[in-house]
Chains A and B, each alone.
Chain A
Amino acid sequence: MEEKTVESIVNEGRAYACIQCGKCTGSCPSGRECGLRTRKVIHMARLGMDIYKTEELWDCTTCYTCQERCPKDVKITDIIIELRNMAVKNSFYPTMAEVPKIIIQNLYSTGNGQPLSPEVSKIRSIIGLNKEPLDASTNKDTLKKFQKLLDGLPLMQWGETQ
């Protein structure tokens, strides 16, 4: 697979076609509360500016409303996700990056981003479920294999560079 660049992201996501109508920003549930201007993200990306270095990029909830409504069929949310990937690859971690790191750690050690706590385990048995659900962490061998898979994935490399 070819290495992504801002240019390739712009082309794949059709950002070049944007007419700056602002329908995306107007639709954005997040932009109403913060500095995210979706339209500007798209414009900056196609101008080749370092949009992936901005914090606003991480304000998007990936709700896809903008992409859904864009009259020019710009794949806005997909572009935002790709730009975040690029930020991570280039070690531009947002301030919010700490939390995802915990989630990645949980994923590695339990197979779940959200692990089971002793309290919930108790609730499970009270309501008639098995104390621990069957999943990737049930079986030691399965978990090992899962970790082996993760070890070789780019995700873990980015985690380490920080």
Chain B
Amino acid sequence: MKYAFFPGCIAKNVYPGIEKATRLVSAKLGIDLVDYEYSCCPPPGVIACYDKDSWLTLGARNLSLSEKDNHDIMTICAGCYGTLHNVWHTLKQDQDKMEFVNEHLSRIDTEYKGNIRPVHFVDLLSKMRDEIKQNKEIDLDFRVAVHYGCHYLKPSDVTGENSEAPKILDEIVSLLGCESVPFKDRLTCCGAGGGVMSGEPDLSLKIIDRKLKNIEKADVDCIINICSFCHMNFDQSQKKLHAYDIPVLHLNQLLGLAFGFKHKHLGLHTNLVSTRDIVKKVKGAKRESMK
């Protein structure tokens, strides 16, 4: 199984542990990742809100890169997924926009045809439950708060997901031995998107403050996400708010731990919120499973 790998700015340039975890986990699961000269997705919050047509064009450039090799493109961030999937969906339906996009791409001798499909890593995982179980070396036994990321779920008529009662993430963490703990407003936005985190940091912090409060009440070991952007918001905001102490892991890092990779190889130590307790628990679990 071969996929064009779209790591996205944050996983590349801020939390490289996520990129690393993805590469390690993919290799275990038999997914070949191919790299291309991608630009930023570009972000829906800033670029689409400034000029949607430019956003479509830059997104289409990214999509066009693996098109010639006929590799579908795989993302690990709800934001990147939101962009690429939405661009794909829009251009599939809107002939005018498709023409606009290709007119511009032709200036750099590129063409987008619409032949490949963007997917989120989670969509692949949902079809690899057996492989996940086979590769699991440690039963993690964490209480986790899962966070889906708005743009993975919505708008549902584009994503095809059930936005009010999604299950996939809960199911995958439970395959790893974790318990997805219910908490208030578990599906609400983390407050990062739409340019709000960068443009109106105070508002963004208020939104995530509520969210963290609810998670704290649920008494979990960590937050699990499938969006590098949310990941960054969860990790950085706890420092900015000078409150909370809830480790933040991307799902791929959690998979990495369960598959037996060392936490340092997964970049857990580069988080702002310490992952010490998590690492300790993993070591305990490892000893358990060796017995």
Contacts and interface: CB of A to CB of B under 8 A. Distances in A.
Interface of A: 1, 29-30, 32-34, 58-65, 67-68, 77-78, 81-82, 84-85, 88-89, 94, 96-97, 99-100, 103-104, 107, 111-117, 120, 123-124, 127-129, 133-136, 138-139, 142, 145-146, 148-150, 152-156, 158-159
Contacts of B53: 1, 153-154
A107 B41 CA distance: 10
Interface string B253-265: 0000000000011
Contacts of A104: 46-47, 50
A64 B154 CA distance: 6
A112 B193 contact: no
A94 to B, nearest CB: 7
Contacts of A61: 45, 150, 189, 191-194, 196, 204, 207
Given A62-B44, A62-B45, A64-B151, A99 B199 contact: yes
Contact of A58 (B48, B104, B193, B195): B195
B203 interface: yes
Nearest to B232: A114
B189 A63 contact: yes
B96 interface: yes
Contacts of B42: 107, 113
In this complex, the interface size class of chain B, counting residues with CB under 8 Å from chain A, is 35 or more
B289 to A, nearest CB: 24
B204 to A, nearest CB: 8
Interface in B47-104: 47-55, 57-58, 61, 96-97, 100, 104
Residue picked from B47, B194, B264, most chain A C-beta under 10 Å? B194
Given A65-B154, A67-B154, 18 more contacts: A58-B195, A62-B151, A64-B163, A65-B189, A96-B198, A99-B199, A103-B46, A104-B50, A107-B40, A115-B9, A127-B266, A128-B265, A134-B35, A136-B39, A139-B37, A148-B107, A150-B54, A154-B53
Contacts of B50: 84-85, 88, 100, 104, 155, 158-159
Contacts of B155: 64, 67-68, 77-78
A133 B12 CA distance: 7
B189 A149 contact: no
B3 interface: no
A151 to B, nearest CB: 9
Contacts, number: 213
B150 A65 contact: yes
Given A99-B198, A114-B40, A29 B154 contact: no
Contacts of A67: 154-155
8 contacts: A1-B96, A32-B210, A68-B155, A107-B42, A112-B12, A113-B42, A136-B38, A155-B55
A150 B58 CA distance: 8
Interface of B: 7, 9-10, 12-14, 16-17, 19-20, 23, 35-40, 42-55, 57-58, 61, 96-97, 100, 104-105, 107-108, 150-151, 153-156, 163-164, 185, 188-189, 191-196, 198-200, 203-204, 206-207, 210, 264-267, 270
B104 to A, nearest CB: 6
Contacts of A135: 12, 37-39
Contact of B40 (A84, A99, A113): A113
Nearest to B46: A100
Contact of A127 (B14, B49, B203, B265): B265
Nearest to B49: A84
B203 A30 contact: yes
A12 to B, nearest CB: 11
B228 to A, nearest CB: 10
A159 B122 CA distance: 36
A152 B104 contact: yes
Contacts of B199: 58, 94, 96-97, 99-100
Interface centre among B40, B96, B206, B265 (most CB of A within 10 A): B40
B241 to A, nearest CB: 14
Contacts of A127: 16-17, 20, 264-267, 270
